[in-house]
Structure formats: structure tokens, C-alpha cells
Amino acid sequence: MVKFVVGLDLGQASDYTALSILERLPGKEYTYHVRHLERTRGEPYPQIVDKVSSMMHSPALDGNAALVVDQTGVGAPVVDMFQKAGLKPIGIFIHGGDKTSNEGSTWRVPKRSLVGVLQVLLQTDRLKVASRLPLGPVLSQEMLNFKCKIDPVTSHDSYSAWREADHDDLVLSVAMAAWYGERSRPKPIPRFTQPAQISVGGGPRYVGNCDYPN
């Protein structure tokens, strides 16, 4: 298995494109360290492909990293561009259902699965975000903006800030990378009713609380 996972959320023309690099450290369960965060706005897709391709071929990542790309919106043609550049990206279509499936290197993943991975990693202190990263506090705030509510009639969960907030690109790039890093685990990801703590250069803060009806 690879040591690093690169998550790439592709924005449309006026949106941010966000990239994160997670280092996966072995142990009884994997621990993830966010080693790099960046976001750009209005960058042409060919330029993004060239930049990420160079990064994937750097000494630290070459042959030791997986590239995970959001294929939900504009991502499909860009995934093709990465393939033509000689990379093997993992495409992720994010949907609102319950089932995860794949065809080749393309996965269909429920939003709740991506969010659940972050909740579990944070609550078990297995996701570390270095305070020295300039965008570390921004990632922390994006996580805090996420709110999950349970419909008392349908029991379905909704995500008020997922792809609806002003900016949630960093948290999505990290969630995709973390999900791919964890996807080979045999046991399912549990759902938590208590908020997870984030510690980024300060005291504990909370993320991902689901309010279940009494």
C-alpha cells in the first residue's frame, strides 16, 4: 500500500481547486498526517494537471502515492487528462445514497461515508493537522462549518454545509484522501452522535455532530 494519498477537489471556473497530501503512518490502525494543503482559483485545468503530475513524480511521492480526484462535476474530463499524462487517478463520484460501488478505478461514494471517515479519524485522534500549515486553520474552520441533521420522519441525514458553503474544498479533498486510505479496512465505519474534536494550533474544537431526534 502507498504511504501518501493526494486528494484533489476540482473547482469550476470561479471556484477554488483544493489539494491535500495525507501521509499514512502504520500501526494497529492507520494514522494520517496532513502534510500539505493548497488552493487556487481560476487555474486552467491543463495547468493543474501539469502541476499535480510534477508533484506525483517528485522523489517523495513517485511510486508511493495515490491520486484521488473528485469526478462529480467537472472532474471526468480532467481525470482523462491525468490518465493521458501517464498517471492512474482514482475518480470519486459523490452521491446522496447509501451504497458504495466501483467500476475499475472509478468509485461512487455516499457523502455520509466521506464525512464518517473524518468523524472517526478525528474522534480517535488519527487525523493530525499541523498548525504550521498556512491553510491548517482554514481546514479546521471548514470542518467546524459542517452540520449534520437527521430527519425525524425519514431518518435520513442531510449535510447543510457540504458543497453548499462558501468554501468547503479543503475538507472535501482531505475527506476523499482519508476515505481512500481507509477503504481497505474490513470493518465498517461507525456513526457517531458526539462531535469530534479538532486540535489545530490550539485547544479542542468540534466537528461533524449529528443531531438525532429524541
User: What pLDDT does residue 70 have?
Assistant: 93
State mean pLDDT over 135-162: 64
* 84-134 pLDDT tens trace: 999 999 999 988 888 899 888 899 999 888 888 988 998 899 999 987 899
* Three-state SS annotation for 178-207: HHHHHCCCCCCCCCCCCCEEECCCCCCEEE
Q: What CATH number is attached to the domain comprising 184? A: 3.30.420.240
Q: How far apart are CA 17 and CA 4, in angstroms?
A: 20
Give 186's pLDDT tier (boundaries 50, 70, 90).
Answer: very low
- DSSP codes, 100-149: -EEETTEEEEEHHHHHHHHHHHHHTT-EEE-TTSTTHHHHHHHHHH--EE
∠ Cα 12 90 127 (to 5°):
85
Measured from the Cβ of residue 72, the count of other Cβ atoms closer than 10 Å reads 18
Give 206's pLDDT tier (boundaries 50, 70, 90).
Answer: very low
Indicate if the pLDDT at residue 75 is higher than 90.
no
Sign of CA dihedral 39, 58, 68, 196: negative
Question: Is 67:56 a contact under the CB 8 Å cutoff?
Answer: yes
User: What pLDDT does residue 150 have?
Assistant: 44
More confident residue, 2 or 25: 25
Number of domains in the chain: 1
Q: How far apart are CA 210 and CA 146, in angstroms?
A: 10
More confident residue, 192 or 32: 32
User: What pLDDT does residue 209 have?
Assistant: 47
pLDDT above 70: percentage of residues in the chain: 74
All three cell numbers of 90, joined, read 482514482
User: What pLDDT does residue 119 have?
Assistant: 86
- Label the pairing between strands 65-70 and 148-150: unpaired
Is the pTM higher than 0.85? The answer reads no
User: What pLDDT does residue 112 have?
Assistant: 84
Domain that holds residue 149: 4-211
CA-nearest of 143, 212, 174, 211 to 34 is 174
User: Among the listed ranges 2-11, 127-136, 140-149, which one has the minimum average pLDDT value?
Assistant: 140-149
Give 141's pLDDT tier (boundaries 50, 70, 90).
Answer: confident
Q: Would you give the DSSP letter of residue 152?
A: T
User: What pLDDT does residue 213 have?
Assistant: 35
Q: How far apart are CA 116 and CA 12, in angstroms?
A: 26
* 23-57 pLDDT tens trace: 999 888 999 999 999 999 989 999 999 999 999 99
10: Cβ–Cβ under 8 A, 6 or more apart, which residues?
Answer: 17, 45, 48, 69, 70, 73, 74, 75, 78
- The backbone region for 151, taken as left when phi is positive above 0, alpha when psi lies in -120 to 50, beta otherwise, is beta
Q: Round the average pLDDT of the chain to a whole number and report it.
A: 81
User: What pLDDT does residue 184 have?
Assistant: 58
